[in-house]
Structure formats: structure tokens, C-alpha cells
Amino acid sequence: MKVALARVLLTGASGGIGRAMAQALQAAGAQVLGVGRAAASPLPAGLGWVQADLATEAGIAAVADAAAAARVNVVVHAAGVPAFGPLAATSTAQMQAVLQANLLAPMALTQALLPALTRLPQAQVVFVGSALGRIGLPGFSVYGASKAGLHGFAEALRRELADGPVLVQTLGPRSTRTGFNGAAVEAYNRATDTAMDAPEAVATALLQLIESEAAERFIGFPERLAVRLNGLLGGLLDGSFAKHRRCLPTPSPAQPLPPITEESPA
């Protein structure tokens, strides 16, 4: 689909890569309906803004109704929450919140949107995943699990809907320079020589993915190669991440990780 013809529902539009995506989509001629927990829209004039908590049935219903009314034909699931650090320092409540925001919410919202989308001549659903959903990296076991689940869901749904008008796609960014990544992640990335992209680069990749209609697009080298190798070699690559393991922070149980906050993923 040409981006200029897109009427886009964008979750997580208030910050991180979501804001960059909104700006890039609008600059390319798309109309954007933003979704976030904030009451006020941070976007210039478009299709509007929906304040909703996607962890609730009421929030899902409100977004689905607004999307149908706006005749949305492209959905971009960009909302999410981070999680970083050793599993021993991650609370059960944090695990549940990450899985709810990064996996269950986009699954439930997609289910609610499909009746309207399948009545259109053409529609696209883009899940913003992560390279960490295909490459298990020390320190990101919970976040990676949520994104691995999202990749699996998108892949199965793409095949399930292959005979209809709805195309399912996945965008896999690597680490991105936004507020989504806290000081601990930035220090970890420096220590492990992990590259970080500007959010605008991820937004450009989104536009390219929509217009290409490809099933998946991963961003950055060597991450794209690592995704392929990890799928082929699996456990043979475990030794490659010794440096990452050594660079993990070691908080004690008395000093838990900072609480999660909702933002667009990076």
C-alpha cells in the first residue's frame, strides 16, 4: 500500500519511536489516529486521538470503535514497556505487566479490529517487535519473551489470513535512542559495543515496510545477520554472548529494578 493512501491507527504514538513514526507517516501523506494513555494528543491535525488503556476491555473497545469510524486501513502496534536486568531482580508483577503490554494487548486489539479490517479491499497490520524477540540476549529474558511471543503470533496470523485482504507484517528494530532505554541499558550497550539507531531511522523503515508489503523487516547490521544465524545455529551461538553476560548489572533483591513505564518500544 502506498503510505499516502494509509489511514493509520498507531498505538504508543505519544513518545519514543511512536512519535517519530507519527511524524514520518504524516509527512508522507498518511492520516494518523493516535492512541495513548495521555488525554491530549501530541500529534498535529490528523484523524484524531484516542485516550485508552489497552490493558482493559473498555480501552480495547474504545480504540476498535474509533478505528472503524475513521475507516482505518493500516494498524501499527507500537506501544510497549521495557524490561532489563537479571531475571532474579525482576518481580512477577513486572513480568505480568510486560507480557500484558507487549503481547496480550496487541493480540486482543487485533482481534477486536479484524471484523472491520476484513471488510476492506486492502488492509495491513504491523507489529513492532524487536531483534531481541529472535535473539535471546542476557538481561532481556522477559522483554525478549514478550517480543518472541509477538513474532510468533504475527507469523501464525499472517498465514491464517493469507487468503483475505488483511496483510500481517512485523518490524524488528534493534536498540534505539529514546527514553524507552534507561541509563542502565545505555551503559550496557556501551560496554557491549551495541549500536543504537535514531528513532527516525525506525520510522523510515516502517514506511518502507508498509509500501513493500514484505512479511518482515529487521533493522541494522549485524542484527539482521544475527537473527538469521540464531534461527539456523541456535545453541551454537551461546558462547558469543559471554561479554553481554559479564556486563549485566547485579542488583540485590533489596534494590529492585526501576518500575516500568509505558512508551513506544525501542
Across residues 53-61, what is the average pLDDT? Answer: 96
Tens digit of each residue's pLDDT (9 = 90 or more) over 146-165? 999 999 999 999 999 999 99
Q: Which CATH superfamily includes the segment(s) 3-246? A: NAD(P)-binding Rossmann-like Domain (3.40.50.720)
pLDDT reported for residue 30: 97
**Which residues 6+ apart lie within 8 Å of 234 measured at CB?**
none
Question: Going by DSSP bridges, is the β-strand pair 166-172/216-218 parallel, antiparallel, or unpaired?
Answer: parallel
Q: How high is the pLDDT of residue 219?
A: 86
Predicted confidence at residue 257, as pLDDT, reads: 45
Nearest alpha carbon to residue 24 among 69, 78, 62: 78
Q: Sort residue 137 into left (φ over 0), alpha (ψ -120 to 50) or beta.
A: beta
Q: What is the pLDDT of residues 116-132, one digit of tens each?
A: 999 999 999 999 999 88
Q: Is it the case that residue 8 has pLDDT exceeding 60?
A: yes
Distance CA 263, CA 258 (A): 15
Residues in the chain: 266
What pTM, to 2 d.p., does this model score? 0.85
What's the mean pLDDT when you consider all of the chain? 87
Q: What ranges do the domains of the chain cover?
A: 3-246
Q: Are 63 and 79 in contact (CB under 8 A)?
A: no
Q: Which residue has the higher pLDDT, 253 or 22?
A: 22
Which single residue is written with the C-alpha cell 541494522?
220
